[in-house]
Structure 1
Amino acid sequence: MKKYRYFTDIDCEEQWLNKMADKGYGLKGKGFFSYRFADEATSDPSIVKIDYRTFKHPEDFTDYRTLFEDSGWKHLFSSQGLHYFRKENSSASDDIFSDAESRAGRYKRLFQAYFALSFIFLSFILTLFTANALNTDLFIRPQSLYYTPGLWDKTGATFIGAFLFETPFALMRGGAGWIVLLSALSFFYLFVKTYKKYRKCLYDH
């Protein structure tokens, strides 16, 4: 069974996965916008937890996975630095983190990654500004981004066909820089949001 979802909040993702687990649907895998679950529900729900961590060496990942499996948590799969675990041993703790400090460590690793991404995209923005590639015509004079000769003199179905054909190219001409800017702002927002969670987790306990 496949479900289509996209999360930017690791806690919301975890909560949703556990709601699916409560219904008996075991998590099998993840795509960019989708999750794969067992086709049939079972009567044996199990807790799902997510960690974020990157590794420089394969043996470090092997040690990491073994540590959790020895604690009763099965490593299901990894996706873009996120690692998904399912509780396999009924005697294991209901959390993969032993204390508030280790739980806060997950948020710390996440906000560091978001900060790095926002910095990279902001660097792109500075480059685009320098090259005058951040095109304000997308909002001020969108018609100037259409290069088809006589486009605005066409009428009826001929105009609609030509307009729809060139619109993707016009958006690429005028929108690429704004997409980069939006990405930079999005990653910076996620950095701030995750940093607040880190502080709360670390200092509220």
Structure 2
Amino acid sequence: MKKYKFFTNLDQEEQWLNDMARQGYTLVRKSFGYQFERSVPEEANYRIDFRTFKNQRDFEDYVALFEDSGWTHVAGTKGSGAQYFKQNGDQGNEDIFSDADSKAARYKRISDMWMTLCCCFIPIFAALISTDAIDASVILKPQSLYYTPGLWEMSGPRFWQALLFETPFALFRGIVWMVIPVMIIVYSVFAYKAKKEYDKSQQQ
């Protein structure tokens, strides 16, 4: 079974995975969605870390460290960032983090990742505007996305027919150049939310 959800709070994501385990669904893979396998309902204990690694050896050493402490690595790769662990029965500590600072640090790494992605898109967007590849004036004049001659002077059924015919093309033109600024905004929001979670974790 596959489920699609998005979390900005890792504690809530862990709780959801524990709830799924109580319903008899065990996490086996995480990419764009969560892949579960049917299993015996259990009181599971999932924990999520966020780390990326430059090489496979460092990643394998990282996984082995937790597995030696009683935690099974169930999802995540060296470049995926999110690493999912499940406690082996009653083995190991209740948490994979030794203290509050190390637990909060995962939010700092997430925030840094989103901000890095945001900063990568800003110069690209600026270059496209400066070379007139993107016309920022359409934000104030979206009607410029419509190319039908005399469209805005038409009236009655003729106007609505022409408008409805060209609207899908106008939306496509707008969506193409809006992708970059939208991604900048989205990444900024995610970075801000992760930073808020980091600050909140530091205060607890």
- Cα RMSD (Å) of the superposition? 2.9
Match of 1:21 in 2: 21
Deviation at 1:43, TM superposition (A): 3.0
Match of 2:35 in 1: 36
Inter-partner Cα distance in structure 2 for 1:160 and 1:193: 40
* Paired amino acid for 2:7: F
Match of 2:184 in 1: 184
SS in 2 for 1:56: coil
Inter-partner Cα distance in structure 2 for 1:191 and 1:4: 21
Check 1:14–1:108 CA distance in 2 against 1; reply closer, same or farther (3 A cut): same
**Identical-residue share of aligned pairs (%):** 39
SS in 2 for 1:52: strand
SS in 2 for 1:51: strand
Inter-partner Cα distance in structure 2 for 1:146 and 1:12: 45
Alignment of 1:81-92 (within 5 A): 81-92=81-92
Match of 2:70 in 1: 72
* Long gaps (5+) in structure 2: none
Could you state the TM-score of these two structures normalised by the residue count of structure 2?
0.80
Match of 1:137 in 2: 138
Inter-partner Cα distance in structure 2 for 1:68 and 1:122: 38
* Paired amino acid for 1:111: S
**Cα contact 1:49–1:95 (8 A) shared by 2:** yes
Inter-partner Cα distance in structure 2 for 1:52 and 1:131: 38
* Long gaps (5+) in structure 1: none
Check 1:59–1:145 CA distance in 2 against 1; reply closer, same or farther (3 A cut): same
* Paired amino acid for 1:137: V
* Paired amino acid for 2:83: H
Alignment of 1:112-131 (within 5 A): 112-131=112-131
Could you state the TM-score of these two structures normalised by the residue count of structure 1?
0.80
**Cα contact 1:136–1:174 (8 A) shared by 2:** no
